[in-house]
Amino acid sequence: MAERETESGEVFRALLKKSIFLQSRYLSYFSLANYHFAMQSASMETDWAAEHLQTIRTLMERSAVYRRALAPIMVWNGLIGVVGGVAGWKTEHNSARSFIVFWSTAAVLSIIGSFLLVRRQALKESEPFWSPPTRRIAQALLPPLFIGAFLNGFAAYWTWSEGANNSYVAFILILFWLFLYGCAAHSAAFFMTRGMKLFGWIFITAGCAVLLAISMAISKDWQFHFPPHLLMAATFGGLHLAYGIYLYLTEKGKNAS
């Protein structure tokens, strides 16, 4: 009897030992699982919160559109184009070299005037001139404008010794300027009012029209009699002026409302 009790006691103790061992193993397993779960969720939460912050930043950047009044800038550039075109035509700056120098000067005047107008608006509204939207617009405009400036330099160097009345050089340059300016306006439009995209496309279309005219002239051996200065006045001058007037009228309507 006493032997049986001892035996059952031993079995009980052995079972208890085993259960304690199993319990401790399971407990450690569960706590480890809990730890992993906590670490995983912590990592997920970081990702989630970081993603949220990134989304907020992207949306805020997209929302901060360039809101300077474009009408005076457009009118200024339009006037430079029209006055410059007529002046160039009247003063007969017809050699390729003088055409490049003349319009490079006009471009510099146009950029300086535009910057001064933007600065005046920024001062008037007590805002920084070199604000993030202004910086983004400048970055968007820079590559096509740089290519345009490089082409000008290249063409000026190439035609410097020639100095002849080569209207094809002028027309090819106008073609490139139209394409590049159209691309620049279209890129800038991602941070501006949507009308700028259409404005960019109009310049690109005008470039296509000039290209077709040149190719037809070459294939049929025609001579161009249309002064390139007047083409500049019609495209760069006319389009800027028209858009500036349109903006003046629509912005006036908005203010009235």
Q: C-beta of 159: minimal distance to another protein in Å?
A: 46
In the region spanning residues 20 to 79, those forming contacts with another protein, defined by CB under 8 A, are 38-39, 42-43, 45-46, 49-50, 52-53, 55-56, 59-65, 67
| Number of Cβ within a 10 Å radius of residue 91 | 11
Spatial separation of the C-alpha atoms in residues 5 and 195, rounded to whole Å: 98
What residue type is assigned to position 81 of the chain?
A: G
The residue (of 63 and 223) whose beta carbon lies closer to another protein is 63
Among 126, 161, 219, 253, binds another protein (CB under 8 A): 253
Q: Which is nearer to another protein, 66 or 171 (CB)?
A: 66
Distance of closest approach, residue 64 Cβ to another protein, in angstroms: 4
| Cβ nearer to another protein, comparing 50 with 108 | 50
End-to-end CA distance of the chain: 107
Residue 61 Cβ, how far from another protein at the closest point, in Å? 7
Q: Residues 4, 124, 225, 254: which binds another protein (CB under 8 A)?
A: 254
- CB-wise, 61 or 92, nearer to another protein? 61
Q: Is 10 in the site for another protein (CB under 8 A)?
A: no
Q: Which is nearer to another protein, 18 or 62 (CB)?
A: 62
In the stretch 180-219, what mask flags binding to another protein with x, by CB under 8 A? ----------------------------------------
Which positions from 154 through 183 interact with another protein, judged by CB under 8 A? none
Residues that bind another protein (CB under 8 A): 38-39, 42-43, 45-46, 49-50, 52-53, 55-56, 59-65, 67, 250, 253-254, 257
